[in-house]
Amino acid sequence: MRHSLKKGGLILTLYKHSLSISLLILFLISFALHWYGSNKDYNKIQLIEGKSTESMFTYFSNSRLWFESFQNWQSEFLSVFAIIFLSIYLREIGSPQSKPVDAPHTETGE
Amino acid sequence: MTPIHKTSFIYKNSLTLVFLLLAVLAIGGQTLTGLDQYNNFLNEHNQTPVSLLNYLSTGHFIQATFENWESEFFQMALFVWFTVFLRQKGSSESKQLTGKEEVDRQPKKHAKAPWPVKRLSQNYTKRVATENTETQRFDFLVVFLCALCGFVLIVLF
């Protein structure tokens, strides 16, 4: 860690964004596994019902994959929206996610 | 690209607006793909498909939407609550390991305070100054976890 900070250059640039890069990679891995698992489950059911299966590629445009994705995404975005918006007006004493109880609604930041 | 003034409504509320927009787009995507899924299912079982408007009152849509909202509000509530008295050394989400922080202070009346604070009686601050909300809530956490474990066991057996 100390070494990477001293060296600077590319490594430091990457380290400055390591949190978002890591989360993005986790998102991509999870999406790939979701895609794979959803396709596998879909094909299993199709086979049981005597219908044709789909490849990963064609399954990408199947509404089932996107129904599952949007279902989770919408609630995540809503959740972030809710905490940002509600924390303008509402308080939780002692919680670092809240402003101090007597802080004005116009106060911005931690 | 037009420069956005730092005094404009859009800039001052951009974080909320962008997440609201993303949520609305994702709800739209969920509704359209869910409608397609549901009508495929109905077609396969020789049932008449539903319209977009009617889809909104089907169990398919309601269950899919609120199953997710429920888990989000649950985790956010626990996050807000648990960060009051639990710690993670080194984490930006956690309070410091020792000492009082700004968010721990009991409210004091002042001109720009929220209205529930402004209506406080003058001796309120003196009265609650000795209260330690952290330890009280920690006891509550133990009760909560026991209740949750009990609930899971009841559901399983």
Chain A environment of B73 (Cβ under 8 Å): 79, 82
Cα–chain center distance at B153 = 26
* Interacting residues of A101 by C-beta distance below 8 A, sequence separation 6+: A91, A93, B105, B106, B107, B114, B117
Q: Could you report the per-residue pLDDT of B102-145, keeping only the tens digit for each? A: 998 888 888 899 989 888 877 776 667 666 666 667 777 888 88
Tell me whether A18 touches chain B (CB under 8 Å).
no
Average pLDDT by stretches of 10, chain A with 110 residues: 63 92 96 96 96 96 96 96 95 93 88
* ipTM exceeding 0.95, yes/no: no
pTM: 0.83
> Residue B125: what pLDDT?
67
Contact call for B137 and A101, based on CB within 8 A:
no
